Amino acid sequence: MAVWGFTLPLVKWLTGHFDVVLLSGLRLTAGVVVLACQLRPTVPLFQLGKDFRPRLLLCAVLTVYLQQLLLTIGIHLSTATNGALITALQPLLSSFMALTFLGERINHQRWLGTVVGLGGVAVTILMQPSAQLLQAGAGDILIFAAVAAYCIGNALTQRLLVQLDALTVSVSVQAFGAMLLLAHALIAVCWQQDLPRMSDVGWHWGVVFISGALSTGFGALVWNRAVAAVGIARASMWLYWVPVFGIASSVLFLGEPLTVWHVIGLLLVLTGTYPAAQRS
Q: Mind listing the pLDDT tens digit for each residue in 154-171?
A: 888 878 877 777 777 878
Comparing CA positions, the residue from 179, 201, 93, 184 lying closest to residue 143 is: 93
Task: Enter the DSSP assignment of 134.
Answer: T
Task: Enter the DSSP assignment of 161.
Answer: T
Give the chain's length. Answer: 280
Alpha carbon of 114 to those of 128, 157, 212, 246: distances in Å?
Answer: 22, 22, 29, 19
**pLDDT reading at 43 higher than 50:** no
44 pLDDT tier (thresholds 50, 70, 90): low
Q: Which residues contact 239 (CB under 8 A, 6 or more apart)?
A: 1, 87, 88, 90, 91, 94
pLDDT in tens, 79-108: 666 666 677 777 767 777 766 666 666 677
Percent of the chain exceeding pLDDT 70 equals: 71
Number of domains in the chain: 1
How far apart are the C-alpha atoms of 169 and 227, rounded to whole Å? 12
Alpha carbon of 267 to those of 21, 135, 234, 241: distances in Å?
Answer: 37, 28, 19, 11
Alpha carbon of 260 to those of 120, 136, 257, 266: distances in Å?
Answer: 12, 26, 10, 10
* Burial of 98 (C-beta count, 10 Å sphere; 0-12/13-18/19+): buried
**What ranges in 127-165 are assigned the alpha helix state H?**
138-160
Percent of the chain exceeding pLDDT 90 equals: 5
Res 42: pLDDT: 44
Q: Which residues contact 57 (CB under 8 A, 6 or more apart)?
A: 176
Q: What is the mean pLDDT of residues 44-49?
A: 56
**pLDDT reading at 205 higher than 80:** yes
**pLDDT reading at 32 higher than 70:** yes
Q: What is the mean pLDDT of residues 255-274?
A: 71
Res 143: pLDDT: 83
Domain region containing 118: 2-277
- Range of weakest confidence among 25-34, 72-81, 231-240: 231-240
61 pLDDT tier (thresholds 50, 70, 90): very high
CA dihedral 74, 138, 60, 151 (to 10 degrees): 90
257 pLDDT tier (thresholds 50, 70, 90): low
How far apart are the C-alpha atoms of 108 and 65, rounded to whole Å? 34
How far apart are the C-alpha atoms of 260 and 128, rounded to whole Å? 10
C-alpha angle 217/222/223, rounded to 5°?
95
Longest dimension (CA), the chain: 56
pLDDT in tens, 126-143: 665 555 555 446 777 888
Which position has the higher pLDDT, 244 or 277? 244
- Range of weakest confidence among 174-183, 201-210, 224-233: 224-233
Res 9: pLDDT: 77
* Burial of 202 (C-beta count, 10 Å sphere; 0-12/13-18/19+): exposed
C-alpha angle 182/141/24, rounded to 5°?
20
